[in-house]
Amino acid sequence: MKDPLVLGFVLVALDVALWRAAFPRNDTIRLLLRLVIFALLSALLFESALSPFTPAPWPESPGRHLAAQIVEVSWWLIGARLLTLSLDAVFRSRHWHKERLFQDVLGALVFLAAVVASLAFVLGLPVTGLVATSGALAIVLGLAIQSTLSDVFAGIVLNTTEPYHIGNWVSVDGVEGKVLEMNWRATHLLTSQGNVVIVPNSVAAKAKITNSSRPVALHGVSITLQISPEERPATVLGALERAIEGSSMVLQSPEPYTLVKKATINSIEYEVTVYIDDIGKSVVVTNQLYDLCHRHLAAAGIELWPLSVPRPPRHDAVDSRQRLLSHVELFRALKGEEIEALAKRLSRHEYEADQVIVKSEEVTDYLMIVESGVISVMVEGPSGPVESARLGPGDSIGEAGVLAGLPVQAQVTALTRAVIYRLDKTDLTPLLKSRPEVGQQMCHLLSQRQDSLRKLNTEIPVPAGTEHTLLDWLRAGMHKLHDLTT
């Protein structure tokens, strides 16, 4: 067992086992263990006259001579790999380490040097002749892999100029996605559909690149709407501005804006532009803006109707109330005559901007339905008042009061000039008796709202000692307050 060749093969096998098994899991610890094994192998070879800088010492014994050459060549290759990993670990904190290009190119150069050195020192081959032969071979290979070489040099340019980094959301050559990897040949992008698109570096270096992750905390979102030219632009712009006000995810600086982009005989095109602090919110904010714009345009009496279709007659005041109730989620299951009966009992109330509509802990015996404007709902959080929601046309609040006589537990304030319709508890009782599913739906909606309130450490206080859920407790309160049969 004291034979240096046997010990050398054992150390080489142990190093290969650590490399292939990736054990231990920690890269730094595994690298240190491999460096210790390499140091032991180096000491073994130099102390036993098996120097990697000289040919194997047993030419008279072909078997031992070949084994010695294998051990010495392995020393060069293992040393090249460990040198690459060591340099990689040293520069790990540097920014360019995130890309694999330098790691791959550096590793290739180190391995090439190790191969040439092992051929010269261990096998005793003439390096000058080899270099001359390899020069002609390099020309042939260069012509054969010129596209690959183009990717390599383009990758060097990309890593030097740094148009994007790992984790950035970019658009390269018309492909939009998140940068997963940058290596010596290509950039890997993860698209919003969950597909991985590989863009060659030579293509990326010539293409127009849009980096949506820079600047880090600012991203623009724009939508366009085509409205009938019969509608006055000032009225449309006012409705769109209220729609922007209805989103709490929009940054106030830079200030969002709306503008008229183009006017034709068929339509007037409007653009709404807002800014967000996270590119991941762009889809949610875009969908929210379209919904808010639709609701506020409808509240302003602007109907999205194609010119090629005859416009229906304008609704009168009663019809507008019926239309408002039909868009409220609580009353969508009602029949036409039921909507008409409720609409006649609505009372109209106007509020100016910053006017308090309902104070916190106030018990309201009426349901409030927003007809136009933007309403802010503020609840008391652990560190002070926190906005829990913004309400727009078609939204309702006050279900807790008309259902079970509970306080609103939030301060409701008008952010813009607003119009709110009220439906009193006494007017709602006949509907709850004839259509119990409406009351059940209101209880479900109110209980679901508690999920967001729990995150703010604010929720409806359920009496201590009860074994019922919040939903059951609301149902019991509704039956008691409206004298409903169980």
Domain of residue 455, CATH code? 2.60.120.10
**CATH code, 176:** 2.30.30.60
- Domain identity same for 284 and 367: no
Structural contact between residues 292 and 392, judged by C-beta atoms closer than 8 angstroms: yes
- Which residue among 116, 144, 172 closes a domain? 144
Q: Which residue has the higher pLDDT, 195 or 153?
A: 195
The answer to whether residues 446 and 375 belong to one domain is yes
Could you tell me the residue range of the domain that residue 448 belongs to?
331-481
- Point out the least confidently predicted range of 73-77, 115-119, 354-358, 480-484: 480-484
Pick from 262-276, 436-450, 468-482: least confident: 468-482
Q: Is the pLDDT of residue 171 over 70?
A: yes
Average pLDDT, the chain: 80
For 239-288, the pLDDT digits (tens) are 999 999 999 899 988 899 999 999 988 889 999 999 998 877 888 999 99
Looking at the structure, tell me whether residues 284 and 414 fall in a common domain. Answer: no
Ranges 132-136, 199-203, 398-402: which has the least confidence: 132-136
pLDDT at 417 (0 to 100): 93
120, part of any domain? yes
For residues 359 and 256, state if they share a domain. no
Is 127 in the same domain as 184? no
pLDDT higher than 80, residue 122: no
Is pLDDT at 465 greater than 50 in this prediction? no
Residue that finishes a domain, picked among 91, 110, 144 = 144
Which residues does 97 contact at the CB level (< 8 Å), separation at least 6?
A: 88, 91, 103
Highest-confidence segment of 54-63, 177-186, 212-221, 370-379 = 370-379
pLDDT band at residue 235 under the 50/70/90 scheme: very high
Tell me if 314 is assigned to some domain: no
- pLDDT tens string 137-162: 556 555 555 677 777 778 778 877 88
> 227 and 140, same structural domain?
no
Residues 357 and 447 in one domain: yes
What is this structure's pTM?
Answer: 0.60
Angle between the 4-21 and 62-90 helix axes, to the nearest 10 degrees? Answer: 40
Q: Residue 253: give its domain's CATH number.
A: 3.30.70.100
pLDDT at 144: 52
Same domain, 229 and 198: no
Using pLDDT thresholds of 50, 70 and 90, give the confidence band for residue 93. very low
